[in-house]
Chains A and B, each alone.
Chain A
Amino acid sequence: MKKTKQLFAGLILMAFGLGTAQAAYTLNLMRGVTKVSNDLYDLHMLILWVCVFIGIGVFGTMFYSIYHHRKSKGHKAEQFHENTAVEIAWTIIPTLILIGMAIPATKAMIELDNVQESDMSIKVTGHQWKWEYEYLDNGIHFFSNLDEGSNKVRQVGSGLDPRSVPNYLLNVDKPLVIPTKKKIRFVFTSADVIHSWWVPDLGWKKDTNPGFINESWTSVDEPGTYRGQCTELCGKDHAFMPIVVIAMNEPEYNAWVEQQKAAAAAEAGSAGKEWTKEDLVAKGKAVYETNCASCHMPDGAGLPGTFPALTASPVVTGDINAQVKLVSEGKGMMPAFGKVLSAVDFAAVVTYTRNGLGNSVGDAIQPLAIQALQSGIPVAGKNE
């Protein structure tokens, strides 16, 4: 019924053409919130109008001709087939128009490229399929995953309504927070495949290449929440690693920084204590659903032929150290989680897979053991 209604709505929209009932979504690029994004918007509109103008001229001539110069109206064909003056004109004039476009384009390109004199730097690392943010000036460091609400809905055949989740597929568990009115330099790299970091309101996207560093910059004047997505195909969950940037005025930003530092200290403490198997399993379930369920499925059944089942899997029910090694280093399409999950999350998810999902191996691994292992892991992507 819902589908029929939507189909009907779509048909009505088509029938009425553009311009009606479209308040909810945009048809054009948005201005964005930075000087660069505004300059690019103006450039975009300039070229768009140039194209519209040329289009009206060419198509107008063509349709005039189609209407008047037809055999059914008795028009006799003339036999001319060249005109040097006209041919020179329609080569020279477009050249001049192009030069007129190239000048503002060059200015904008130079502005976009200038990462000098920044106030702070944030390192962005792409992972399959999450973003890692590291504030190079104050050591804040965290991962940003698709939010839980979207993640539940987007599972194949979940039957849940995407409209029930606010900002479906454009929300994360931990957003990137930046101060307003500061020039922020971003450095980009990747731990696995190429991703691309795009927030339309900032005006640009930049690829993250494994083993290499790219740079870009932004400066946001107004506080607000700005959303974007990965724009370079990076595998199965390419559509499910959004970006959320929250710009805050300086006092709020400073308070956020202090809060993050306190939380990091608490997290480090929890890895040091002894965990019970039950606590690990309970925590591991949430970690599993964020990081593993999209391939191995929420019930551990996998996807025959593409992604192996974890229920009764020889790896999961076998030697625990071999499983830790595989999860840590990855294999084929499976990403390496060794540097991605905290020691607690890592221990929890491994323990969960062995004692949940229909398995009952009975053993557990402590975060302390993972911590010891992680300190010996070769650094992913050679970029730290």
Chain B
Amino acid sequence: MSAVVAEHDDHHDHGPAKGLLRWVITTNHKDIGTLYLLFALAMFFVGGAMAMVIRAELFEPGMQFVNPQFFNSMTTMHALVMVFGAVMPAFVGLANWMIPMMIGAPDMALPRMNNMSFWLLVAGVLLLASTLFMEGGAPASGWTLYPPLVLQTGKALPFAIFSVHLLGISSIMGAINIIATIFNMRAPGMTLMKMPMFVWTWLITAFLLIAIMPVFAGAVTMLLTDKFFATSFFDAAGGGDPVLYQHIFWFFGHPEVYVMILPTFGVASTIIPVFARKPLFGYSSMVHATAAIAFLSFIVWAHHMFTVGMPIAGELYFMYATMLIAIPTGVKVFNWTATMWKGSMTFETPMLFSIAFVVLFTMGGFTGLMMSVAPADFQYHDTYFIVAHFHYTLVPASIFILMAAGYFWLPKWTGHMYDERIGKLHFWLSVISVNVLFFPQHFLGLAGMPRRIPDYAVQFADWNMISSIGGFIFGASQLLFLYIVIHTIKGGTGEKVTSEVWEDAAKHSLEWTLPSPPPYHTFTTPPTVIPTEHI
């Protein structure tokens, strides 16, 4: 690096490399954070375009646009791209940008691995996307890749599996880096129980990732050997069991969905106190609730499989264990409400998205509680009711909080203020259309519409059309966000941004003590005062 700025003597204060190469070789946590966030935003639109294909086909009964096989590829790829290409990388991007600045560290602990983990992600997602153009089409078995169905995939199968391996390696590297950074690079005085909630939730998430990604890699490797090397892990004819795959997959899959929601909790716990002008209510119970949810996520996996044919003892155990999740999750919602209580609230765009998150995530939580009841799940399972449930916990929860984080920290990252009016317009369009999109899906599921179907009986027509209209408006509204991001990077409103950006934000967390935008290298000497407002 120092060669690039050879005329400088001060190696501690050099800037980035010049030109495009800067982004390829960078080891700077801010650059890598930006790369992750922009890549995630791009994939959000790719996955979103696939969702638009799905909603267009479902706009009316009958088959209008795509054949059923391609429709199944769309549902599969939409999920894989959104999970592994958009939501997870977006949170890793936030972690890269914010964790060092929040704990007073100069950079991530393992900067070269950081670079590698980003480029492996790009390779993995591109490999996955390339399967769309292969003979036999992209995987069409749903993102869960259940055998025996997934073994009927054409040429794409080994490529999809290798792509999962790459994504897994990338995630594990990212997780190791985050854990190493948090454990080794905190500023003096920043004890674990003084860390901002976002750092805490990411620490716990990183442990989840290290525990589960190898399990997923193992599961798909068994698919690979079943298909090409004559093993029979999941084939009854050779002594295997297709349901074994589901157990392994969901041992990964359930913690995986918490990988997408725990950092969401962290961001919400960061934003709400700033705009309520109050400390976070129940900091230590928030930390403990996060840890409890993470622990429970490992022992509830078979609630995704209530109808697969388990013994009654299994059904009952997984029902009871799943119901328990409602307790720590409830604690979190109550804490956020108590944080707002008797505050002095203002409603800038990040706060609006955060409040919508608390309300709509709780709705997703309610339907989750309903589905935890095993006998009732014999009706709900694999219908649009579950589609509504997990989209409520992912779109107006994870995605909304990512939007909130964007609005909250863009002024810090760029030194420019976004346009509040367009931000609010984006919020209101999003929050209304997302409910028009997903709320009717509860009705469809209860009325008997199965998920993953490209065509349906005519009694489901009206709600599907309404849902599709909501989907199109929601999709189009996100172009506003793209506009706002570009506009803000290019100078925004032109308003001068202070280091705090938001009123008294520096009382809550260290990043607000730095100039906006922060210099290329920050906290090369550790901060001396640790904010404690959030505790």
Contacts and interface: CB of A to CB of B under 8 A. Distances in A.
Interface of A: 3, 6-7, 9-11, 13-14, 24-30, 39-40, 43-44, 47-48, 51, 54-55, 58-59, 61-62, 65-66, 69-72, 75-83, 86-87, 90-91, 94-95, 98, 101-102, 105-106, 108-113, 153-158, 160-163, 167-170, 188, 192-194, 196, 198, 200, 203-207, 209-212, 214-215, 228-240, 294, 303, 305-307, 332-333, 382
B344 interface: yes
Contact of B342 (A65, A101, A111, A306): A65
A200 B448 contact: yes
Interface stretch (B60-68, B117-125, B475-483): B60-68
B290 interface: no
Contact of A14 (B319, B327, B347, B469): B469
Contacts of B141: 233
A111 B137 CA distance: 44
B279 A156 contact: no
Contacts of A155: 63
The interface residues of chain A, by DSSP majority, are classed as mixed
Interface stretch (B35-43, B145-153, B187-195): B145-153
Nearest to B311: A113
Interface in B432-489: 436, 443, 446-448, 450-463, 465-466, 469
B316 interface: yes
Contacts of B72: 233, 235-236, 238
B5 interface: no
23 contacts: A6-B465, A13-B466, A26-B446, A27-B443, A43-B375, A47-B370, A58-B334, A70-B347, A79-B278, A83-B338, A90-B330, A94-B326, A102-B323, A105-B374, A109-B312, A109-B319, A156-B66, A205-B307, A207-B307, A212-B243, A214-B308, A234-B149, A303-B67
Contacts of B456: 169, 239
B382 A105 contact: no
B241 A212 contact: yes
B497 interface: no
B455 A62 contact: no
A6 B242 contact: no
B136 A82 contact: no
The interface residues of chain B, by DSSP majority, are classed as helix
Interface string B176-192: 00000000000000000
B129 interface: no
A157 B66 CA distance: 9
Contacts of A194: 146, 148-149, 242
A382 B237 contact: yes
Nearest to A195: B149
Interface string B408-452: 000000000000000000000000000010000001001110111
Interface in B363-402: 363, 366-367, 369-370, 373-376, 378-379, 381-383
B152 A193 contact: yes
A231 B443 CA distance: 17
Interface in B308-364: 308-309, 312, 315-316, 319-320, 323-324, 326-327, 330-331, 333-334, 337-338, 340-347, 355, 358-359, 362-363
Top 5 A-B pairs, shortest CB-CB distance: A211-B236, A239-B453, A214-B309, A77-B344, A204-B378
B379 A40 contact: yes
Given A158-B63, A194-B146, A13 B345 contact: no
Contact of A238 (B136, B448, B452): B452
B535 to A, nearest CB: 8
Contacts of B376: 40, 43-44, 47, 105, 108
B69 interface: yes
A112 B378 CA distance: 9
Contacts of A240: 68, 455
A208 B29 CA distance: 50
A105 to B, nearest CB: 5
A163 B500 CA distance: 60
A225 to B, nearest CB: 14
B462 A25 contact: yes
A204 B374 CA distance: 11
Given A10-B462, A28-B446, A239-B453, A211 B319 contact: no
A332 B237 contact: no
B316 A109 contact: yes
B307 A79 contact: no
Nearest to B134: A305
A110 B312 contact: yes
B432 to A, nearest CB: 10
Contacts of B446: 26-29
Contacts of B450: 198, 229-231, 239
